Structure 1
Amino acid sequence: MDYLCFRALCCKGPPPPRPEYDVVCIGLTGAGKTSLLSRLCSEGADCVVPTTGFSIKAVPFPNAILNVKELGGADNIKKYWSRYYQGSQGVVFVLDSASSDEELEAARNELHSALQHPQLCTLPFLILANHQDKPAARTPNQVKPKTKPLATGLHFMYFVERETSIANRESKASSCNQFLHRIMQKRPSEIQN
């Protein structure tokens, strides 16, 4: 009996591995993609350097791991975004809610292109309207009508960040956790690789 108790308490072995899901994170330069991912990974946001090509971060959640492939938003890099879409199981699109009307329209056009891309069009999308802490930030009610009509009939999840752009990790983690559940609900045969 003592041996069974000892074995049960001490010798269980490593926990089972958590499933991993590959996600692509896109958005224009300055939208806050790198800061968002650094915050989700509990890294310091003080010395964040914008991504010039791409970076991959593993964002841990209690029930799974999101491997987020962040793609830089500069014009000379956007033309290569589609080369990194293969194998993605979801898309995070980050936009700057405090941007000018022209920049918001450019972000809307990039979102539209992503929603129409054959490798992404059936995947869950999470849209984060970042920089809600800035004085010029549009409210969720102002941002949503400009982007939501693009996604009619698609696996689409919309979330507008209402808290300070970098400071509130819990709010961002909550929206990403909901997004993760959306990805996990898809049957493996439905996930494009």
Structure 2
Amino acid sequence: MSEHMQLSLALCRIGIYTCFRALCCKGPPPPRTEYDLVCIGLSGAGKSSLLERLCNESSDGISPTTGFCIKAVPFPNAILNVKELGGAECIKKYWSRYYQGSQGVVFVLNSASSDEDLESARNELHSALQHPQLCTLPFLILAHHQDRPEARPPSQVHARPPSQIKKYFELEPLARGKRWILEGSTTDNMPAMKESFIQLIGLLEEKDKEPQARI
């Protein structure tokens, strides 16, 4: 066998061995960081359908959440364990019992709701932003149902854009010094929805890097 052929066979063996190691000896991917979030908002804001879509599950026939529901929402660099709390009047008063252990907050509001419901959502958000167990956590505030058309019959209201929500909810003075994101959202635009959560993950990672106070 010629020297040239021997060299070619040796190179082939090296290539096959390299491919074999790449396919068979590759270790498991590094685990993704997990964050525990609490998701709150009035009944009908769209919390359940939003989480179902993020998990690639069907949102047909969804009924209002009674008590709470937990969803593991996967992203490329993190898994968000989202605890959704029901928004009915009889449940809201117990929200604070489920805040412990949360690392971030998702607040969903119906941007096309009545003035009365919008005022109720405003009060609940203010309460959450000032709650001792939540006030230092990153917030993602979603002005949901932005797909509602603005030309509506007089008995209905149109969706308020995030700029109006920010002003009406007085977010700038109230949330000064806090980490928060306000975005418009609709379940028909999932790339934008996911981008909002990716921004929240960025805030969670920043908080993880903060030096911990020594006791």
> Is TM (by shorter chain) over 0.5?
yes
Q: Select the residue among 161, 165, 182 that pairs with 1:143.
A: 165
CA positional deviation for 1:3: 4.4
Q: What TM-score does the superposition give when structure 1 sets the normalisation length?
A: 0.91
Closer, same or farther in 2 for the Cα pair 1:190/1:80, shift >3 Å? Answer: farther
Match of 2:95 in 1: 81
Alignment of 1:15-26 (within 5 A): 15-26=29-40
Q: Which runs of 4+ in 1 moved over 3 A?
A: 1-5, 188-191
**Cα deviation digits, residues 67-119 of structure 1 (max 9, x gap):** 00000000111111111111111000000001111111110100011011111
Letter in structure 2 aligned against 1:182? L
Q: Matched residue of 2:204: which SS? A: helix
1:155 pairs with 2:179: yes
Matched residues in 1 for 2:176 and 2:96: separation? 22
Letter in structure 2 aligned against 1:178? Q
Q: What TM-score does the superposition give when structure 2 sets the normalisation length?
A: 0.82
Equivalent residues of 2:48, 2:65 under 8 A apart: yes
CA positional deviation for 1:49: 2.1
Larger radius of gyration: 2
Alignment of 1:40-119 (within 5 A): 40-119=54-133
Equivalent residues of 2:38, 2:105 under 8 A apart: yes
Letter in structure 1 aligned against 2:45? A
Letter in structure 1 aligned against 2:54? L
Matched residues in 2 for 1:35 and 1:190: separation? 36
Specify every segment of 5 or more residues in structure 1 that has no aligned partner in the other structure, as ranges.
Answer: none
1:180 pairs with 2:201: yes
Match of 1:171 in 2: 192
**Larger deviation, residues 49-58 vs 142-151:** 142-151
**Cα deviation digits, residues 146-185 of structure 1 (max 9, x gap):** 2213212212222222xxx221111100101111111011
Q: Percent identity?
A: 67
Matched residues in 1 for 2:83 and 2:208: separation? 22
> Number of paired residues?
188
1:7 pairs with 2:29: no
**Cα deviation digits, residues 8-61 of structure 1 (max 9, x gap):** 321213212111000100000000000110111111122222211100000000
State the Cα RMSD in Å.
1.7
Letter in structure 1 aligned against 2:176? T
Larger RCO of the pair (alpha carbons < 8 Å, separation 6+): 1
Specify every segment of 5 or more residues in structure 2 that has no aligned partner in the other structure, as ranges.
Answer: 1-13, 150-157
